Every structure is written in structure tokens, then in C-alpha cells.
A and B are shown apart, each in its own frame.
Chain A
Amino acid sequence: MSQSCDRALLLQAEFDGELDAAQSADLAQHRETCAVCRANWATLEASRKAVRGVDYHAAPDALRARLAARLGPAPRTAARRRWWREPLSFAVGAALAAMLLLVVRPQGNDALLSALVDDHVRSLQPGHLYDVASSDKHTVKPWFDGKLDFAPPVKDLSAEGYPLVGGRLDYLGGRAVAALAYEHGKHPINLFVWPVNSDVPAPAASVREGYNILHWDDGGMSLWAVSDMEKDELEEFRSDWLKTP
């Protein structure tokens, strides 16, 4: 395993079921020809097989009883251990998981913020920041034609210190959205754009896993900037964006 492929972490994300359909289709194409990815996949499978053979340490009954006595009647523990060992319960587990997904889907904003940050993080993987690489808005804007059911505003902010690096098509909250990649010094900024459609009030500024997220609406579009920059720096980006025609 001395060779390397810059998509190792992406491959692992696929292995862990963390990629969406578009990303995994994209990766599949690459995997067909990459010997390193094949070897890495084998590594992932071998490690999973090994780890799932180790002991799962369930809480001792005495501990459970002691805590329950202190806290009142205890609901039974969630039965989720080691289902992968039994093919039948695997199916049951999968069906249950699908049902749970419908029931306990997190609240709109929460899920959206997490999805935005995940998407931002994935875009930082080598080769994933943009589908169309260009600092020219006249190249990036037409690229979205026919790929989206709206025309995202693409602005050139290089004079303000935020050169455009490219554009990308992403899927968020069940719809295709535009992602514009900007840069500020060494900091990548992803600006996600889609038409305003929600009656859910969205937070203007939030922090997720160390990333700042800024949201504003403009010209019927909902805009979300995600970056590792400080909040006030990101706010400058927003005001420059709003000032630029």
C-alpha cells in the first residue's frame, strides 16, 4: 500500500455510505481504472471484517440495575447490536432504519445546516470543489443552463479579494442546487444557491463543526455561504456580494 490515490478518503466515504448518488456515480467511474482504489477497498473490507469480530461490551446488568434504581423505570435498551451477524435481522434492521428515517428526520433547518457543512467538507476533497473550473462568470453562469431549473446569480468578486474558482452542481434537501466556489486567501468559500421556497425561518448565521454558515435572501434566491473563515470575514464577503451587481 505504498502508492496513494488522492481519493482515498472519498472512497472510504463511499464505503461508509456517506456519499450521495451523484458523488458515488462520479467515483465509480474513477474506480474502474484505479488500481490503488481497488487495493484500498480491499483494505477497508478487511478492516471491517476484523473489527466486527471484536467484543461488543454491553453494559453489565448490575450497572443497568443500579442506574435504573436511581433514575426510575428504565426503558429497554435499543436493540441494535450485531445485527450484521444475522442475515434475517439485517433485512429487519434495514426496514426499521428506513421507517425510523421517516419518523425521526431532524428538523428542517438542522438537517439543512448539517448537509451544507457536509457538502462543503466533501467539496474540499481533491478535485471536488468544482465541476466547471473558471474564474469567469460568463463561463460559469451558462454552464448551469439546462442543469438547473433556475439561473443562479454568478458574480465576479475578484476585485474585492474573492476570486471565483468554479461552479458545481449539488443536491441538497432533495433538490439540485448551484454551488459557487470562491476563494479568499487560502480559505475556500462555498456559496450555495437555490430559489427561495421555504416558509421555515432560517437562521442568518450559525456555526457547525467549526464552520461558519451565513444565510441571506436576495432577488428571490436563497444564498448560503459556508467557510472556515471567521464570521465577520464571512459577513464582509456577504456585503461585498450584495454590493456587486
Chain B
Amino acid sequence: MERDRDFAAVALPHLDAAYNLARWLAGSGAEAEDIVQEALVRALTYFPGYRGGNARAWLLRIVRNAAYAALNARRATKAEPLWDGDEGVPEPADPGDDPETALIRRRTALRIDGLVEQLPAELKEALVLRELEELSYREIAEVTGAPVGTVMSRLWRARRLLAKAGAGER
């Protein structure tokens, strides 16, 4: 179909960017694939309304919304209690470690990937879009639907958290 081919020419060059964003937001490859497929189906239906302009930002915005929808659905179906029973300590402390050493050890074990992974979603997406996709502030604003000023402060918070955690690692 003509329209499908036009759409492929607009969307598929940005497939890596789409998958990368979905993967960072979802945290797993399988889920990221589902999100990207779902996003492309949506994008295809929106495509008649696409009037040129920044294709990458256009597609990433749809991917982002699909990712958030998937994450919300997951949270709704998998709302489990943190531990069974009404009372008690959820996790016995490791007898060999005082809390501080345990914390340092755990922190050291986390690689930067883990640090980024654990950032709040709105900080993580700003950071991934800026540093891995090299989007401008304006493009990030377009993708995330936040004003440029908000994008700037989210980036700054993300970077400070990362630098702080990174410093603690060494």
C-alpha cells in the first residue's frame, strides 16, 4: 500500500531511537518490542495527520506515550504486596554487614546502567533523549510534552543525581 510505504520511509529510519527509548523506559527487551510495535501501529493511524516536520520527535512522542500506557497497565495488573503477612521485617539483614557497608556494597555493584535505570521516568527520558539521541531541548519538549524550562531542570536534576551516585561509586 502506498501509504504504508510512505509511512515506512518516515518512521523506520528512527526505529533504533524508538526502540532505545522504549527499552530504557520499560526496562526489558521483550516489553520494548511490544511497545515499539504498538507505537508504530498507532503512528500509522495518525500518519494521515502528520504534516511533515521533525519525524523523529513525532515518532518518539508516540513511542513515549505507548511506553507509559504499557507501564501503567503493568502496574495495574501486577499490584502485589511487598511481602506476605501483616507484620515483620521484609528481609532479614545480612549478619556479616552493618547497614552502611551493605549500602556501599550495593551501590558499588550498580553500574551506571543501573543508575540510569533507577532514575525517575521523567528524568530518565530527558537524559536518554539528550545524551543518547542528542535531541535539542526543543525536541525533548516536543517528545515529552513538557515546557523547555521543565526539560532543562529535569536534565539538570538527572545529571546531578548521576554525578553524585557515580562519585559514591569510586
Name A residues whose Cβ lies closer than 8 Å to a Cβ of B: 1, 8-9, 12-13, 16, 18, 43-44, 46-48, 50-60, 63-64, 66-68, 70-78, 80-81, 106, 110, 114, 117-118, 121, 124, 209-211
A48 contact set on B, CB distance < 8 A: 131, 159
In the complex, which residues of chain A have a beta carbon less than 8 angstroms from the beta carbon of B13? 75-78
Q: Is the CB of A210 within 8 A of B147?
A: yes
Q: Identify B15's interface contact among A51, A67, A70, A210, CB under 8 A.
A: A67
Is B12 a contact partner of A75 (Cβ separation < 8 A)?
A: yes
Once the chains are docked, how many angstroms separate the CA of A73 from the CA of B166?
Answer: 44
B164's partner among A1, A44, A78 (CB-CB below 8 A) is A1
Q: Which B residues lie within 8 Å of A81 (CB)? A: 16
Complex Cα distance, B12 from A74, in Å, reads 6
Tally chain B residues at the interface, Cβ within 8 Å.
55
**Distance A68 CA – B9 CA, assembled complex (angstroms):** 10
Q: CA A156 – CA B30 in complex, angstroms?
A: 62
30 contacts between A and B (CB under 8 A): A8-B156, A12-B159, A13-B152, A18-B136, A44-B163, A47-B166, A50-B115, A50-B163, A50-B166, A51-B127, A51-B132, A54-B113, A55-B113, A56-B16, A57-B23, A59-B16, A59-B19, A60-B19, A64-B15, A67-B8, A67-B15, A71-B44, A75-B8, A75-B13, A78-B13, A114-B138, A117-B148, A118-B138, A121-B147, A209-B147
Closest residue on chain A to residue B41 by CB atoms: A70
User: Among the listed stretches B31-39, B78-86, B88-96, B100-108, which one makes contact with chain A, having 4 or more residues with CB under 8 Å of it?
Assistant: B31-39
Per the bound structure, the CA–CA distance linking A55 and B112 in Å amounts to: 10
Chain A residue, CB-CB nearest to B153: A9
Contacts of A64 in B (CB 8 A): 12, 15
A71 touches B153 (CB 8 A): no
- Minimal beta-carbon separation of A97 from chain B (angstroms): 10
Given known contacts A54-B113, A74-B8, A16 and B160 CB-to-CB distance under 8 angstroms:
no
- B-side contacts of A44, CB under 8 Å: 159, 163
Question: Would B155 and A12 count as touching, CB distance under 8 A?
Answer: yes
Is A56's CB under 8 angstroms from B15's CB?
A: no
Q: Give chain B nearest CB distance to A68 CB in angstroms.
A: 7
Q: Are B12 and A67 in contact (CB under 8 A)?
A: yes
B152 touches A43 (CB 8 A): no
**In the complex, A70 Cα to B14 Cα: how many Å?**
16
What CA separation (Å) do A50 and B8 show in the bound complex?
34
Q: Which of A51, A71, A110 contacts B12 (CB 8 A)?
A: A71
Apart from A54-B112, A59-B19, A75-B12, 18 more pairs, CB < 8 Å:
A8-B156, A9-B156, A18-B137, A43-B159, A46-B167, A47-B158, A47-B163, A50-B115, A57-B19, A57-B32, A59-B20, A60-B33, A66-B37, A67-B8, A118-B137, A121-B148, A209-B148, A210-B147
CA distance A211 to B149 in the complex (A): 12
CA separation between A114 and B112, bound complex, in Å? 34
CA distance A211 to B147 in the complex (A): 9
Q: B7 interface residue, CB < 8 Å from A?
A: yes
Bound together, the chains give a CA A53 to CA B54 distance in angstroms of 27
How close is A78's CB to chain B, nearest CB, in angstroms?
A: 5
Q: Is B40 an interface residue (CB 8 A)?
A: yes
Would you call B97 an interface residue if the criterion is a C-beta within 8 Å of the partner chain's C-beta atoms? no
- Find out whether the CB atom of B127 lies under 8 angstroms from the CB atom of A56: no
In angstroms, Cα B138 to Cα A121, docked, is 11
Question: Shortest distance in angstroms between B28's beta carbon and chain A's nearest beta carbon?
Answer: 11
CB distance from B153 to the nearest CB of A (A): 6
Q: What 0/1 readout, one digit per residue, does chain B (117-152) give for beta carbons within 8 Å of chain A? A: 000000000010011101011100110000111001
Chain A residue nearest in CB terms to B130 = A16
